[in-house]
């Protein structure tokens, strides 16, 4: 029972001989990667005294969690440009509970995810029947609507948003301190980094399992042909909802931690441009690979951050590069690898 | 043999057009029944109505006394009525074997979460589906392409894959829409044998087909549609001598149909 | 009451024009033009410069907006969409290209015109006051009437001109049109140019009323998407219906809910979801899927 969790079954599986070796290689790779981001990267950052990189990398980790959700909706054949809405909702749920109701951040985190999942079921029931550009359009509109709701509803405190969110307190279970109070730490950035990266690793581990399990195959069958999936007995409505709810859950988690780090949330904290960026992350990383969105987020976010030095030309250069990329590689970054196979 | 399906006064209108108009007939258990008729006669629409991909304007479809029209398609599939498609519809970016494995969905014992978590049921399912898929692939002579991407298959194998998918669902009633379309004579005869093999496994087969030679060879009974209406029903010989059938076909093409 | 209807009609006419451009591009090329709102903003700024800054007549400015955006649209089609559509095997590619173009235009607009809200002198002075039932400035009336005239001209053009007929054939069935000898590339380009031009013209019209700023491109696109979803994507009558319906809904909502903050759009979206659940293809759209 390793990471590899074969959905194909049967002794006749083609890579039978090599699959064990491949599995252990993957486990080792995953562990090495985890050790690298959790231990080596902090050491390098501390060594170079580039504390700002903690914030950058934490952002990458959180955005790639949200992007993983978008990727999953793509996996069932829907172009989701509404993830920023769930990130915003997640941020607000956590912030409101912490600030107005004094709930511990650690409780608000799953609650933020679950609230988003619940909302996504209501929203998803009607809109998941739409396909292609129609679904894309309606999710994009939803992003804007979430922002307007944040502006209009009394509970979100309107345009002034919620500022001065306290740092997460300690997480104790039966008197045992699992996570220390962030206020007592001398470097809360490091703590947020570890938290976000751990969640990112967990998220991608789960996604990997999901995609490589029979559940993943079922999701993929929706992307390929919903009508056929339905005729072989797959409850497509249910499966679509489940995938969309997981996606929105991830968006909510990402948004909640973002609010905790920046200690504030505003109606414009996550906007249409963010929704588009989540989609771009997935696309750039390659839609066929579970790890695609992580890679895409990293490249895109660092690229954007790096272009900061160009000042007012940042957006111009960034978008020009994107356009050029689309012209050169209209099928995504990782499509370079596919060329050999296709032709 | 008892009736497994009965189609009762089934009607489907698209705007002003009656694609299927007051059609009634019954299907006996374990028979091969073909539905024929000129282009646009309403055959595919009839199949979509039976598999509940379309809702009838009026009338109903009964499966052993239980009404199935109006239910969601996946529920109807769960009850054992499964349709494959006129257009070669498959999961294009999966291998042939994966296509067949995924089609075992109705026999799943594990839940979605079980599959995700790798429960005992899930592992048993996966094991079982793999074996069953290999059997089906062997039965339909597809083992050699089992690990090909479905999108790379030649036309003939695609049809076979369509039938394999149908078989894998373990349906009681299989609706095949033009399984021989685009095949040469030899391929057709091989597929005819496949369909007979499917029937021998206890499946009731409904089939829409334009290849008259194949239809006459394979069918126990034939239903003829024209402009949405049933104009005849009977054995191959009865149909070949039916005035109205000959008329309907003569209006369209002549001898090419082999009547 | 009359006031609400008048406002709705005025808004609806502008919206319908925006939606028309978007839907035309969608119908011809199956491209969802994310940059539509940015094209609107660009059109607004062109009029702002020529009419507001240089003091040339408004009509000249409006024509300049139209020509500029038509050129921009044509260039984008020829050099960006055409090669990407040819090379990619997924419809997402064009969507992402459109998003990148939206970012690009945003950046260009910001660099050229800054982020300040810009306004221009009124094109007409005075206010129509009909018994206090309808109170509407003359310039709004003029802009509304102008928008309706342009819509009418567009419909006539699509219906009776040779180009219009070719584009309709192309929209209906690309392959069949190609077989019939319609030059697909040429008419895609013309269609994109006209679509962009319409966005630019509305920008030019509305800059005289509401002014323009570099940040409203995105929200305008979103509104255009809503209209297209209401009416049905790729259908001219749908775009017009969607535009007027949204304009009316906004006008009514702002009156009825003025006491409750800005919940109008929340309600419009909720209604849209219910509506799409019943009619996924929109009011006039063709059934699909
Ligand atoms: N979704 C639909 N909307 C409107 N009309 C339809 C629809 N589906 C089918 N029709 C019409 O119903 C009639 C019957 O179509 P159907 O596809 O059932 O014919 P068929 O017998 O399968 O023909 P073929 O032999 O060409 O496959 C045709 O005139 C067709 O145009
Ligand atoms: Mg047919």
The predicted model gives A14-22 an average pLDDT of 61
Instruction: Specify which residues B23 forms β-bridges with.
Output: B10
A212 domain residue, yes or no: yes
A164 domain residue, yes or no: yes
**Nearest atom in ligand 1 to B45's CA:** 18
CA–centroid distance, residue B17 to ligand 1 (Å) = 10
CA–centroid distance, residue B79 to ligand 1 (Å) = 26
Quick: pLDDT tens for B151-204: 888 877 888 888 888 888 888 999 988 888 777 788 788 888 888 888 888 899
Which residue is closest in CA terms to ligand 1's atom 28? B40
> Chain C partners of A148 at a C-beta cutoff of 8 Å?
262-263, 265-266
Both tokens assigned to A86: 């769930």
CATH topology of domain C2-278: ABC transporter involved in vitamin B12 uptake, BtuC (1.10.3470)
CA–centroid distance, residue C90 to ligand 1 (Å) = 28
List, in sequence order, every beta strand (DSSP E) within B135-251: 173-177, 204-208, 221-226, 229-234
CA distance A123 to A268: 21
Quick: pLDDT tens for A200-234: 999 999 999 999 898 999 999 999 888 889 888 89
Residues with CB under 6 A from ligand 1: B 14, 17, 19, 37, 39-45, 86
A143 φ, ψ to 5°?
-55, -45
Which residue is closest in CA terms to ligand 1's atom 4? B14
The predicted model gives B112-137 an average pLDDT of 88
- Of chain A, the end-to-end C-alpha distance in Å amounts to 37
- Residue C184: predicted pLDDT: 87
Decide: B20 and B45 in contact? Cβ < 8 Å.
yes
CA distance A76 to A244: 9
**Nearest atom in ligand 1 to B41's CA:** 21
Read off the CATH number of the domain in which A267 is found. Answer: 1.10.3470
- Residue B258: predicted pLDDT: 46
Q: Between these two residues, B190 and A238, which has the higher pLDDT value?
A: A238
In this predicted structure, which of A59-63, B47-51, B132-136, C262-266 has the lowest mean pLDDT? C262-266
Residue of A nearest to C102 (CA): A319
B229 φ, ψ to 5°?
-105, 150
Which residue is closest in CA terms to ligand 1's atom 8? B45
Interface test with C, best of A148, A224, A283, A335 (most C CBs within 10 A): A148
What is the residue-wise DSSP string for C46-61? HHIIIIIIS---HHHH
Inform me whether the pLDDT recorded for B124 exceeds 70: yes
A116 domain residue, yes or no: yes
- Of chain C, the end-to-end C-alpha distance in Å amounts to 41
Interface test with A, best of B80, B84, B118 (most A CBs within 10 A): B118
A228/B165 touch (CB, cutoff 8 Å), yes or no: yes
Number of A/C CB contacts below 8 angstroms equals 137
Quick: pLDDT tens for A100-153: 998 999 999 999 999 999 999 999 998 998 888 889 988 988 998 898 889 888
Say if A228 is an interface residue toward chain B (CB within 8 Å).
yes
Residue of B nearest to A206 (CA): B116
- Global confidence as pTM: 0.87
B139, containing H or E segment = helix B120-139
Helix, strand, coil share (%) of chain C residues, nearest 5: 75, 5, 20
- How close is the nearest chain B Cα to the Cα of A18, in Å? 16
> Chain C partners of A138 at a C-beta cutoff of 8 Å?
225, 229, 272-273, 276
Q: Which of B89, B112, B118 sits opposite A228 (nearest CB)?
A: B89
Q: Where are the domains of chain C?
A: 2-278
Q: Between these two residues, B257 and B169, which has the higher pLDDT value?
A: B169
Quick: pLDDT tens for C218-233: 889 999 999 998 988 8
Class of domain B1-80+206-259: alpha beta
A127/C273 touch (CB, cutoff 8 Å), yes or no: yes
User: What is the count of structural domains for chain A?
Assistant: 1
> Chain C partners of A319 at a C-beta cutoff of 8 Å?
100-101, 103-104, 106-107
Parent domain of A255: 53-335
CA–centroid distance, residue B228 to ligand 1 (Å) = 9
ipTM score for this prediction: 0.86
Both tokens assigned to B112: 């979605």
Ranges of chain C with pLDDT below 50: 288-289
The predicted model gives A290-298 an average pLDDT of 89
Q: Between these two residues, A10 and A160, which has the higher pLDDT value?
A: A160
């Amino acid at each position: 029972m390793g990471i590899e969790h074969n959905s194909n079954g049967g002794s006749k599986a083609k890579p039978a001989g090599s699959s064990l070796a491949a599995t252990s290689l993957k486990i080792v790779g995953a562990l090495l990667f985890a050790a690298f981001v959790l231990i080596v990267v902090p050491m390098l950052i501390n060594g170079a005294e580039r504390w700002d990189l903690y914030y950058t990398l934490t952002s990458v980790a959180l955005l790639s969690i949200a992007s993983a959700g978008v990727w999953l909706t793509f996996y069932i054949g829907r172009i989701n440009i509404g993830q920023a809405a769930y990130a915003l909702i997640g941020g607000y749920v956590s912030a409101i509970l912490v600030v107005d109701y004094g709930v511990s951040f650690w409780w608000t985190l799953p609650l933020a995810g679950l609230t988003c999942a619940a909302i996504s079921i209501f929203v998803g029931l009607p809109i998941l029947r739409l396909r292609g550009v129609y679904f894309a359009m309606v999710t994009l509109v939803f992003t804007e609507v979430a922002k307007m709701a944040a502006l209009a509803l009394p509970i979100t405190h309107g345009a002034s948003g919620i500022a001065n969110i306290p740092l997460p307190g300690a997480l104790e279970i039966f008197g045992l301190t699992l996570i220390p109070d962030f206020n007592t730490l001398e470097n809360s950035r490091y703590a947020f980094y570890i938290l976000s990266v751990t969640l990112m690793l967990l998220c991608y581990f789960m996604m990997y399992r999901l995609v490589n399990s029979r559940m993943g195959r079922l999701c993929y069958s929706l992307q390929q042909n919903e009508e056929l999936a339905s005729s072989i007995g797959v409850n497509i409505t249910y499966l679509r909802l489940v995938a969309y709810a997981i996606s929105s859950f991830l968006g909510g988690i990402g948004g909640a931690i973002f609010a905790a780090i920046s200690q504030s949330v505003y109606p414009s904290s996550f906007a249409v441009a963010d929704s588009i960026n989540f989609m771009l992350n997935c696309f750039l990383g390659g839609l066929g690979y579970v790890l695609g969105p992580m890679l895409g987020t990293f490249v895109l976010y660092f690229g954007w951050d790096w272009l900061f030095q160009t000042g007012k030309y940042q957006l111009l250069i960034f978008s020009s590069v994107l356009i050029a990329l689309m012209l050169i590689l209209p099928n995504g970054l990782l499509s370079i690898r596919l060329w050999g196979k296709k032709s | 043999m008892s009736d497994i399906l009965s189609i009762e006064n089934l009607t489907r209108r698209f705007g002003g057009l009656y694609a299927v108009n007051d059609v009634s007939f019954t299907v006996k258990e374990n028979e091969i029944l073909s539905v024929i008729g000129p282009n646009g006669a309403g055959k595919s629409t009839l199949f979509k109505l039976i598999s509940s991909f379309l809702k009838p304007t009026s009338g109903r479809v009964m499966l052993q006394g239980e009404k199935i029209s109006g239910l969601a398609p996946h529920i109807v599939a769960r009850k054992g009525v499964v349709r494959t498609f006129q257009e070669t519809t498959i999961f294009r970016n999966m291998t042939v074997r994966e296509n067949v494995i995924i089609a075992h969905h109705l026999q799943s014992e594990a839940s979605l979460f079980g599959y995700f978590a790798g429960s005992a049921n899930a592992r048993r399912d996966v094991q079982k589906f793999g074996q069953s898929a290999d059997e089906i692939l062997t039965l339909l002579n597809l083992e050699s392409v089992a690990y090909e991407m479905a999108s790379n298959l030649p036309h003939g194998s695609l049809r076979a894959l369509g039938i394999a998918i149908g078989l894998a669902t373990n349906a009681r009633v299989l609706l095949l829409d033009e399984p021989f379309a685009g095949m040469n004579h030899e391929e057709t005869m091989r597929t005819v044998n496949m369909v007979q093999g499917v029937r021998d496994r206890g499946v009731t087969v409904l089939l829409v087909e334009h290849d008259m030679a194949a239809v006459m060879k394979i069918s126990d009974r034939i239903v003829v549609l024209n402009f949405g209406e049933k104009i005849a029903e009977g054995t191959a010989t009865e149909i070949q001598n039916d005035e109205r059938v000959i008329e309907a076909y003569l209006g369209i093409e002549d001898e090419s149909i082999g009547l | 009451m009359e006031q609400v209807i008048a406002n709705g009609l005025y808004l609806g006419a502008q919206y319908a024009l925006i939606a028309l451009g978007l839907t035309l591009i969608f119908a011809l090329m199956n491209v969802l033009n994310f940059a539509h709102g940015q094209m609107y903003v660009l059109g607004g700024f062109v009029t702002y410069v020529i009419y507001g800054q240089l003091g040339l007549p408004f009509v000249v400015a409006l024509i300049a907006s139209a020509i500029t955006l038509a050129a921009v649209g044509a260039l984008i089609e020829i050099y960006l969409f055409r090669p990407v559509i040819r090379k990619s095997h997924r419809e997402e590619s064009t969507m992402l290209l459109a998003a990148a173009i939206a970012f690009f235009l945003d950046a260009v607009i910001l660099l050229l015109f800054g982020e300040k809200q810009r306004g221009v002198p009124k094109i007409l002075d005075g206010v129509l006051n009909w018994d206090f039932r309808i109170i509407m400035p003359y310039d709004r009336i003029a802009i509304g009437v102008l928008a309706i005239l342009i819509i009418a001209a567009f419909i006539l053009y699509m219906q009776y001109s040779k180009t219009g007929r070719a584009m309709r054939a192309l929209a209906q069935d690309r392959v069949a049109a190609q077989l019939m000898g319609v030059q697909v590339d040429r008419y895609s380009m013309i269609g994109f140019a006209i679509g962009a031009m319409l966005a630019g013209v509305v920008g030019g019209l509305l800059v005289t009323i509401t002014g323009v700023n570099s940040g409203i491109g995105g929200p305008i696109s979103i509104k255009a998407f809503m209209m297209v979803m209401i009416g049905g994507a790729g259908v001219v009558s749908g775009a017009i219906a969607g535009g007027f319906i949204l304009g009316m809904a906004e006008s009514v909502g702002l009156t009825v809910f003025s006491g409750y903050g800005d919940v109008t759009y929340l309600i419009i979206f909720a209604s849209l979801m219910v509506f799409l659940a019943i009619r996924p293809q929109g009011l006039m759209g063709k059934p699909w899927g």
